[in-house]
Amino acid sequence: MTSFVEIPAGSDFPLENLPYGVFTPAGSDQPRPGTAIGEWVVDLRALQEAGLLETDVFDGPTLNAFMAAGRPVWKAVRSQLQSLLSDDNSTLRDNEALRAGAFHHQAHVRMVMPVDIGDYTDFYSSREHATNVGTMFRDPDNALLPNWLHLPVGYHGRASSVVVSGTDVHRPMGQTKPAEGPPVFGPCRLLDFELELGFFTGPGNDLGSPIPIEEATDHIFGFVLVNDWSARDIQKWEYVPLGPFLAKNFATSISPWIVTLDALEPFRCASPSQEPTPLPYLQGSGDRSYDIGLEVGIQPEGADTDDVVCRSNFKYMYWNISQQLAHHSVTGCNIRPGDLLASGTISGPDKGSYGSMLELSWRGQNSIPLSDGSERKFIQDGDTVVMRGAAEKDGLRIGFGECRGKVLPSLG
């Protein structure tokens, strides 16, 4: 597909992508829904007001109304946008006044939170990650807990502290337990990232009515990169018996652009083989995973670039997104438009693909060298963690942009 918009080679945002986000133009504080193509943001409200989009879902400051509209509307808007932006359609191409008002260079806008997130759930769906953690903290011969191969394990996160890429994160304060003596209170010493993908939900379900696995993707709007910041020393002391709490609630960073399932359709692939066979409500036909390359970089304060410390892939996930949503709703839990469900740490089979510093440093036993001569076992104040993702095949690249966050000292 070709567009009249110039798209640089290797861009994350070709005409085949068209991810959705919310931005504020230069000189304005009014959020507006948009889509990305090449180096530009296209104002969807401006196109709607000009009568070029047959919908009214872009009036608000978030994408929730668009998400709630459902797959027929998503497909129609995507088709209309691809037609309007194609090189053989003169409607936008030759309307200089409309283009001047609707097109904004990405360098001149501020991306803001695209969704009013009602609920946030984080899963624990990478077998490699769960095995690594179980090996470190429990029994190498029985690393996985008894339930892990039977259901997608998850916990309810804190929606209020989900922040958009570029938002600084303060090192959290909390209780930790030294090897000897009583617990103490102070700044987290073992701050970590977790490389994840998350998906936003569209139309929900009524309370008491589960979402069948074969219908799950009709309720999934699209993906974002997720950095589930984690305070490992706080987590170690608090997580028994009820799991993550303060070690996770201080911040979760997401990328600003939501990449749709339609854009990622060429990259669908089979999930890893599951043994034992899941219960019937978790059995779905067809390929339900996605081949999406992911990487994490650490940029020390004052450095010009980041050093990539992890390269992984979403296709490694043992439990896929349809299984996660079907399991989440099987009790009749009502999912709502704009809920965020994250994958859990995405680790692969080799050391370079481990999706957290906990694994990369193997519980702090090993140091990760950076190009400025420093080393890391965990994240230091002043470090910026940068996550990137893209699916690539046959010359087509569907990217996510970046998810970045800088760590500031504790406020305590």
DSSP letters along 349-382, please?
Answer: SSGGG--BHHHHTTTTTS-EE-TTS-EESSPPTT
Q: Which pLDDT belongs to residue 399?
A: 98
Q: Is 105 a catalytic residue?
A: no
Alpha-carbon distance of 156 to 96, in angstroms, equals 48
pLDDT tens per residue across all 412 residues of the chain: 899 999 999 999 999 999 999 999 999 999 999 999 999 999 999 999 999 999 999 999 999 999 999 999 999 999 999 999 999 999 999 999 999 999 999 999 999 999 999 999 999 999 999 999 999 998 999 999 999 999 999 999 999 999 999 999 999 999 999 999 999 999 999 999 999 999 999 999 999 999 999 999 999 999 999 999 999 999 999 999 999 999 999 999 999 999 999 999 999 999 999 999 999 999 999 999 999 999 999 999 999 999 999 999 999 999 999 999 999 999 999 999 999 999 999 999 999 999 999 999 999 999 999 999 999 999 999 999 999 999 999 999 999 999 999 999 999 8
Contact 367, 347 (CB under 8 A): no
Pairing of strands 191-192, 230-231: antiparallel
- The domains of the chain, with CATH numbers, are 20-112 (2.30.30.230), 120-408 (3.90.850.10)
- The token pair that represents 129 in the structure block: 């990650």
The model carries a pTM of 0.97
Contact 184, 335 (CB under 8 A): no
Query: Of the candidates 401, 411, 396, 409, which has an alpha carbon nearest to the alpha carbon of residue 9?
Result: 396
Contact 382, 407 (CB under 8 A): yes
Identify the active-site residue in 104, 105, 108, 129. Answer: 129
Query: Of the candidates 232, 171, 193, which has an alpha carbon nearest to the alpha carbon of residue 382?
Result: 171
Alpha-carbon distance of 389 to 385, in angstroms, equals 14
Q: What is the residue type of 68?
A: A
Q: What is the residue type of 277?
A: T
